[in-house]
Amino acid sequence: MISARLTPIPRVRARDRRESESSGLAVDHGSVGHSGQVSRTTQGITLLPQWMWNVPFVITRIPGMVSDLREGANCQRFAYAVLAHFGLHVAPTRSSELWADTATIRVSHPEPLDLLLFNKTADAWGAHVGVWIGDDQVLHLCSEVGKPAVWRMADFASRARYRELVGIKRVLAR
């Protein structure tokens, strides 16, 4: 079990932070190349479409629902949509099902586009799901803010309901 407080955190260079803040989101390492293969290297910087930054948090819009994402989503549904934007597809599962899923693999160190599960305990049931975008940044649909946000690991650790990093799951390109 990895605690969000104990996870080694890489530092963001000031220039990278300014570029990320000014452009909306520079997602390093997650573009889909012309071959259709997902790249997890530093070669590409891709911007999420602006509409994705306006998706409202709606707890009842769970994975597997057939509706427009613009009408709202919960954290899992949003995270899966981000991955789908980059060519990675996840079965429409809830967090505990995702943690038990064998189509994704558990890893100890995140890479861009890995899914991070946070909770108040080490239990995956009811865990909050975000997407690692690199440089100690996690993109997630935040109920506290009501829309997508980028937080650092320390931001999660400072909140009781997210203080535990349940773990990290990697979606393999399919």
CA distance 106 to 116: 10
Between residues 76 and 6, the one the model is more confident about: 76
51 forms beta bridges with: none
Between residues 51 and 98, the one the model is more confident about: 51
**pLDDT tens digit string along 68-120?**
889 999 999 999 999 988 889 888 888 877 887 888 889 999 999 999 999 99
Q: Which domains, from first to last, does the chain contain?
A: 2-171 (3.90.1720.10)
pLDDT band at 162 (very low <50, low <70, confident <90, very high): very high
Q: Which helix (H) or strand (E) is 104 found in, with range?
A: strand 104-107
Residue 126 has φ and ψ, to the nearest 5°, of 80, 10
Q: Mean pLDDT across the stretch 144-152?
A: 93
